[in-house]
Structure 1
Amino acid sequence: MHTIQTQHAPHDPALADRHAALHAALPTATPGQPRDEVPHPSWVPIRSLAPKHRHRILAHLLALPERDRYLRFGYPATDGQITRYVEALNFERDEVFGIYNRHIQLIALAHLAFAGDGGPGGPGAEFGGSVLPHARGRGYGARLFEHAMLHARNGHVDTLYIHALSENTVMLRIARKAGAIVQRSGSESDAYLRLPPETLASQVEQWVGEGAAAIDYQIKRQTRRVGSLIEAIGEVKSGVARPGQAARD
Structure 2
Amino acid sequence: MGLNPSDRYLRFGYAASDEQVNKYVDGLDFERDELFGIYNRRLDLIAIAHLAFAPPHQHSDCAEFGVSVSASARGRGYGSRLFDRAVVVARNEGVGMMFIHALSENAAMLKIARKAGATVVRSGSESEAHLQLPSATFDSHLSEIALEHFAEVDFLLKTRAKQFWSFLAGLQEMRSGLRAARGKSSA
Runs (5+) with no aligned partner, structure 1: 1-61
Q: 2:88 aligns with which of 124, 128, 150?
A: 150
Q: How many residues are aligned here?
A: 187
Q: 1:80 aligns with which of 19, 24, 46?
A: 19
- d(CA) in 2 for partners of 1:97, 1:221: 17
- 3-state secondary structure, aligned to 2:21: helix
Shift of 1:118: 6.9
Aligned CA distance change for structure 1 residues 154 and 118 (closer, same or farther; 3 Å): farther
Q: 2:169 aligns with which of 231, 244, 247?
A: 231
TM-score by length of 2: 0.94
- d(CA) in 1 for partners of 2:163, 2:27: 31
**Structure 1 residue ranges (4+ consecutive) displaced by more than 6 angstroms after TM superposition:** none
Amino acid in structure 1 at the alignment position of 2:41: R
- d(CA) in 2 for partners of 1:206, 1:118: 26
The correspondence of residues 55-94 of structure 1 with structure 2, limited to 5 A, is: 62-94=1-33
Q: Which residue of 1 aligns with 2:132?
A: 194
TM-score by length of 1: 0.72
Shift of 1:117: 4.2
CA contact (8 A) 2:85 2:147 kept: no
Say whether 1:113 aligns with 2:52. yes
Q: Which residue of 2 aligns with 1:10?
A: none
Q: Which range moves more in the overlay, 235-244 or 153-162?
A: 235-244
Which has the larger strand fraction?
2
> Alpha carbon RMSD of aligned pairs, Å?
1.6
Say which structure, 1 or 2, has more relative contact order (CA 8 Å, 6+ apart). 1
Shift of 1:65: 1.5
- d(CA) in 1 for partners of 2:24, 2:115: 29
Identical aligned pairs, as a percentage? Answer: 50
- d(CA) in 1 for partners of 2:154, 2:119: 35
Runs (5+) with no aligned partner, structure 2: none
